[in-house]
Amino acid sequence: MGGAVPRRRLRAKPAPGLALHHICGKGTTERQKANKMGFGFQISARDGRARTGVITTPRGDIRTPAFMPVGTAATVKAMMPESVRDTGADILLGNTYHLMLRPTAERIAALGGLHKFMNWQRPILTDSGGFQVMSLSSLRKLSEEGVRFSSHIDGARHMLTPERSMEIQRLLGSDIVMCFDECPALPADRKAIEASMQLSMRWAQRSRDAFGDRPGHALFGIQQGGLEEDLRAASAEKLRAIGFDGYAIGGLAVGEGQEAMLGVLDYAPAQLPDDKPRYLMGVGKPDDIVGAVERGVDMFDCVLPSRSGRTGQGWTARGPVNMRNARHRDDPRPLEEGCTCPACRNYSRAYLHHVIKSDEIIGSMLLTWHNLTYYQRLMQGLRDAIAAGQLAKFVTEFHAQRALGDIEPI
Ligand SMILES: [Zn+2]
C-alpha cells in the first residue's frame, strides 16, 4: 500500500508508545478515540426516525443516506470509475468472495491495493464474503471454524473464516470492513435462525479480534435474527457489547418480501446505536430505500441499477421503464426529462431502444449511467428533504410520481 497512503492517514497512526491492547482490548471508548482521527459519523439533521449526515474517512466524506454502487469484480460493470463519481457516488462496494478467487487479494495487495488497482481513490466498503460464499459456491461445508467451499470459477477448494475474511479485506485496503457472518435464506424455522445468529455473533467477536487496531478504517458488525424481534434484539445487544464503528442490518432482502422487511425495519434500527451508521445490506428498489430511510437507515447497496441497466431497464421518478419495448422506437424524447446524465442529455429513447435491441455495448453503458444517476438523485432528494424537515412531503410526492407510471407514448 506504500505510496498510495494519503497523508492524513499517516497522521492518524497511533503514537508509538500506545500499546495495541489499550485500543482493542478495553471496549469501545479508546477505539472510538483512535478512530476519531480518521473515521467518524456526524448526524446533521433528523426528521422523524430518518437522519442525514456525513461519514468521514481519510479517503473522503460519505453523505448519508448513501447509496453504494456495486463494483463486484473491481469494476462497476459498463462504467468508468470517473463516470461513477460523476453520478454522485461517494463510495463503492467491492465483493470479497469474487476478488479472493480472481485476481486474489494477495495480487491486488502487491499491485498497491484495490483503490489503485481499479482507479477509485474514494472510500470502498467490502462485504465479508459470507453471503456470496453461501449463494454462489458449491460443495459448501459450514463449521464453527468457517466455510469450506469450491470456487464457482474453477472448482478450487478454499476456506473462508472470520480471520481470513479480515485478512483479505485488509489486503484489499478496504475502508469499511464487514464482519464475517452467516446469512440464512428465508423462510427458515426459528431454531435455524437462532443457531445461525449465535454463530454469526461468535464470528463477529472473532472478526473484531482479528481486525485489531486500524485507525482510519472501520469495522461494521452485522445484526442477524431473521424476522424475529427478540432474536434481532439479542443480536444487537451482542454486537453493542463487542463494539463496532457501524452496524449493518443483515439477513433481509433474501426473499421475505417488502412488507416483512419494512416490518423488521420498524424496530431493528432502534436496537442499534443511534450515533453510528446503520447499513441495510443488499437493498434495494427505490421504494425499499425510501421506506428504509424513513425508518432510520443510513447506507444501502444493490446491483439493481447497474444490472438492470444491462438488461434494458431504466429507472425514473415515474418507475421502471422497459427500453426494449417497441413503443420507444420513434420517440425523440429523453428517457427522463430533466435528468443530467449523458444518456438523457444527448440521446433519445429511440436511440437507447435501438442500441439495446442491437446488443450494442453503449446501450449498457448509457442505461447504467442513467440508473446510477437516478439512484444518486433520489438519495440527494432524501438528504435534502430530511435536512429541511420535509421528508413526509417528499415521500408523498415520490409515491405520487410513481403511481403515474411512465410518460404517455408519442
Ligand atoms: Zn438520465
Q: Which amino acid is at 102?
A: R
Q: How far from each other are the two terminal CA atoms of the chain, in whole angstroms?
A: 55
Residues 288 and 139 in one domain: yes
pLDDT band at 378 (very low <50, low <70, confident <90, very high): very high
Residue 138 pLDDT > 90: no
Q: Is 301 labeled as catalytic in the residue annotation?
A: yes
Same domain, yes or no: 220 and 315: no
Please, are residues 180 and 130 in contact by the beta-carbon 8 Å criterion?
yes
Q: Whole-angstrom Cα distance, residue 224 to residue 182?
A: 9
DSSP-assigned letter for residue 395: H
Q: What is the CA radius of gyration of the chain?
A: 21
Q: Is 4 within the bounds of a domain?
A: no
pLDDT surpassing 70 at residue 114: yes
Q: Do 95 and 192 share a domain, yes or no?
A: yes
pTM of the entire structure? 0.91
- Ligand 1 mean position, distance from CA 370 (Å): 4
Q: Which of 283, 302, 321 is the last residue of a domain?
A: 302
pLDDT computed for residue 37 by the predictor:
59
How much is the average pLDDT of 269-284? 98
**29 falls in which pLDDT band (50, 70, 90)?**
low
* Ligand 1 center from residue 380 Cα (angstroms): 15
Domain boundary among 302, 325, 352: 302
Residue 2 lies in a domain: no
Q: What is the average per-residue pLDDT within 22-41?
A: 54
Same domain, 255 and 335: no
- Output the CA angle 349-352-357, nearest 5 degrees: 120
- Please check the confidence at residue 16 and state whether its pLDDT lies above 70: no
Mean pLDDT rounded to a whole number for the chain = 92
* Enclosing H/E stretch for 380: helix 361-387
Tell me the CA–centroid distance for residue 338 and ligand 1, in Å: 8
7 domain residue, yes or no = no
Please give the residue range of the domain that contains residue 322: 308-403
Same structural domain for residues 163 and 136?
yes
C-alpha–C-alpha distance, residues 112 and 115, integer Å: 8
Calculate how far, in angstroms, residue 51's C-alpha sits from the geometric centre of ligand 1.
27
What confidence score (pLDDT) does residue 24 get? Answer: 36
Active site residue 127: yes
285 alpha carbon – ligand 1 mean position (Å): 17
Residue 83 sits in the same domain as residue 144: yes
Residue 392 CA, ligand 1 centroid: distance in Å = 25
The model's confidence at residue 23, banded by pLDDT at 50, 70 and 90, is: very low
**What mean pLDDT comes out for the span 84-99?**
98
Return the percentage of the chain with pLDDT > 90, whole number. 86
Is residue 329 included in any domain, yes or no?
A: yes
Residue 348's CB is within 10 A of a number of other CB atoms, namely 17
Query: Does residue 18 surpass a pLDDT of 80?
Result: no
How far apart are the CA of 310 and the centre of ligand 1, in A?
A: 15
| Residue 276 and residue 157 share a domain | yes
Would you say residue 264 has pLDDT above 90? yes
Q: Work out the average pLDDT over 250-273.
A: 96
Final residue belonging to a domain, choices 246, 279, 302: 302
**Domain co-membership, 250 together with 395:** no
Residues 208 and 69 in one domain: yes
Q: Which one-letter amino acid corresponds to residue 326?
A: A
Distance (Å, whole) CA 33 – CA 56: 14
Q: Which of 127, 181, 213, 288 is catalytic?
A: 127
CA of 95 to the centre of ligand 1 (A): 27
Q: Is residue 22 part of a domain?
A: no
pLDDT for the residue 255: 87
- Residue 107 within any structural domain of the chain: yes
Give 35's pLDDT tier (boundaries 50, 70, 90): very low
CA of 311 to the centre of ligand 1 (A): 16
pLDDT in tens, 192-207: 999 999 999 999 999 9
Q: Are 81 and 120 in contact (CB under 8 A)?
A: yes
The string of pLDDT tens digits covering residues 307-356 is: 999 999 999 999 999 999 999 999 999 999 999 999 999 999 999 999 99
Task: Please report, rounded to a whole number, the percentage of residues in the chain having pLDDT higher than 70.
Answer: 91
Question: Annotated catalytic residue: which of 90, 245, 288, 301?
Answer: 301
**What is the count of structural domains for the chain?**
2
Q: Is residue 297 part of a domain?
A: yes
